Homo-oligomer: A and B are copies of this chain.
Amino acid sequence: MRASVYRKAHFNAAHRLFNPQWDSEKNNAVFGLCNNENWHGHNYDLVVKVTGEIDPITGFVIDMKYLKELIKSEVEDRFDHKNLNLDCPEFRNLNPTAENIALVIFDLLRAKLPSSLELQVRLYETERNFVDYPV
């Protein structure tokens, strides 16, 4: 009796894509407009997927109130209204692409969830670009 439950959250942040080991020309060629040195930003939508047994006593895979609070404390409070490159040590040495942001969020939540529960995160950078991690 395994099911997956999903909780949606969101945060608004600024970022810039670039590789500090490349010059400006190479960064522009690879990252285009996303390399604007004055930053740009997004409304990130996050969908957290948790998979496990349906508890026969509660009917829950996980208490969604708990999951909502966990996402708030671990993700929203950390990244909302922040500059990911400047304000967030997680991205000091990691390019904040949607792929890498998803990976960081996965690691933050994975550390707080019991190992009996599987975890996957989906991150929407825009309505048209989104990422799942892990696969």
Contact = CB atoms under 8 A, between A and B. Distances in A.
Interface of A: 1-10, 12-15, 17, 19, 30, 32-34, 36, 38-43, 51, 54, 57-61, 63-65, 80-83, 86-87, 94-100, 102-103, 126-135
B2 A135 contact: yes
A6 B131 contact: yes
Contact of A129 (B58, B64, B81, B128): B64
Residue of A14, A36, A132 contacting most chain B CB atoms (<10 Å): A14
Number of copies: 6
A17 B33 CA distance: 23
Given A4-B131, A41-B41, 10 more contacts: A3-B132, A5-B130, A6-B129, A9-B128, A17-B59, A39-B39, A39-B83, A40-B41, A41-B42, A61-B131
